[in-house]
Amino acid sequence: MNPALFNKPRLMTPGPTDVPPAVLLEMAQPIIHHRTKEFQAIFAELSELLRRLFRTAGPVLTIAGSGTTAFEAAQTSLIEPGAKALTIAGGKFGERWQDIYDAHDVGQHRINAEWGNATNPEQVKQLLDDHPDISVVTIVHSETSTATASDIQAIAAIVRQTDALLIVDGITAVGALPLDMDDWGIDVLVTGSQKALMLPPGLGFVGLGERAVARLESVEPAHVYNLDLRRWLKSHKDDDVPFTPPVNLIRGQLVALRMIEDQGLDMIWDRTAALAKAGRAAFEAMGLKLISTSPSDSVTGAFYPDGIDDKTFRGDLRDDFGIHVAGGQAGRGADWKGRIFRISHMGHVDVGDPLATLAAIEAALIQQDVKIKPGTALDAATAALQ
């Protein structure tokens, strides 16, 4: 397909994702002070819509920073000196949560699944049975670096049989994958603003179930101030935050959450699943091998065929077609830099975005002499969408 037919930039990376114009314009509203009734009303509505998004009756805290900020807050606030964690990883982000506990001198039992594979819930059960002293369990719902989804519902049911709290990284899951925090028994659910929530980066969110709130009321965490969730929970009861919040991001997030409400969460989950199905079908039809044996619907990744240079391929996509896709990441379990690419199905996207993206990917691969019959990607995508 002729690159000249492409004229719109498309940000198809799994975060940040594109932001709707109405949200951008809301963020351009004049600044209001955060200690006002006006802000309090905005914050109260935001918190209510976050609860509906997380499907929880508990509080959802809004924290300035990245998803990592919010996850570190959850990790460090809910544990006492000397307590042990079970940390489940299978990609760069799961490994990061292990690094954070290492930095905080928290002893860990670790599960490291091979990159691209989900952890077997039975393995979690076994470790919890063997080590009744485990105080928290961390896991990634959708591991962005490997485009892999874990069976959070099964693992939550297992953890719920113990006194350990389950802290779920839902950064590329909340608002994209079916997820019911209270019904599944997730104690802590964390996400960020720049994925399915259709906002620029800058806000992290921490949902707290009943058991997590109870733990916060008695725990004595060490070496934490700004990220001490006890402080945030206390303020939250008055629709407030302990430190000056990013007011314009919060206003923008409210508008984005209203849009999610209007579309309906079930519809968004269905759409995300359909776009992911189309993406996987098109990749496989073009002869690309998926990077995950347990693919997440929020992001799809494929290994490059032999001979494809990552920088050239993604450079061509961006320069010639205006399409920005993500490359691979490196961690302890694997180094996928230069070996894979990934596209997002989250947030402000509809079927036109993956169709354009898949057509461009096909054209860019053909340009690099990969043998693909023109039309293969869209044929497969269309068939998958029937």
Residues engaged in binding its own copies (CB under 8 A):
9, 11, 13, 15-19, 24-25, 27-34, 36, 64-69, 72, 99-100, 103-105, 192, 194, 200-202, 222-228, 243-249, 324
Q: CB under 8 Å to 199, separation ≥6 — which residues?
A: 19, 23, 193, 249, 252, 253, 256
The SS3 call for residue 301 is strand
Measured distance between the N- and C-terminal CA atoms of the chain, rounded to whole angstroms: 23
Query: Which residue's CB is nearer to its own copies, number 2 or number 7?
Result: 7
**126: which DSSP letter?**
H
Q: What is d(CA 262, CA 256) in angstroms, rounded to the nearest whole number?
A: 10
Nearer to its own copies, 143 or 211 (CB): 143
The Cα 380–Cα 386 span in angstroms is 10
Angstrom CA distances, 247 to 60, 165, 170, 200, 239, stand at 17, 31, 23, 13, 13
Torsion angle, alpha carbons of 28, 33, 36, 39, to 10: 30
Least gap, CB of 68 to its own copies (angstroms): 5
How many CA atoms are closer than 13 Å to the CA of 105, on its beta-carbon side? Answer: 7
User: Which is nearer to its own copies, 65 or 354 (by Cβ)?
Assistant: 65
Give least dist CB 151 to its own copies, A: 27
CB of 255 or CB of 384, closer to its own copies: 255
Nearest residue (CB) to its own copies, 13 versus 357: 13
Minimum distance of its own copies from residue 169's CB (angstroms):
14
CB of 142: closest distance to its own copies in angstroms?
Answer: 16
**How far apart are CB 199 and its own copies at their closest, in Å?**
9
Q: Which residues contact 34 (CB under 8 A, 6 or more apart)?
A: 241, 244, 245, 247
Closest approach, Cβ 12 to its own copies, in A, equals 10
Q: 37: exposed, middle or buried (C-beta count within 10 Å: 0-12, 13-18, 19+)?
A: exposed
Of residues 58 and 245, the one with the C-beta less far from its own copies: 245
Compare residues 35 and 371 and give the one whose CB is closer to its own copies: 35
Q: What's the closest the beta carbon of residue 260 comes to its own copies, in angstroms?
A: 17
**Contact yes or no for 93/143 (Cβ under 8 A):** yes
Nearer to its own copies by C-beta: 194 or 296?
194
Distance CA 55, CA 153 (A): 14
Q: How far is the CB of 200 from its own copies (least distance, A)?
A: 4
Q: Tokens 């393995």 appear where?
A: 123
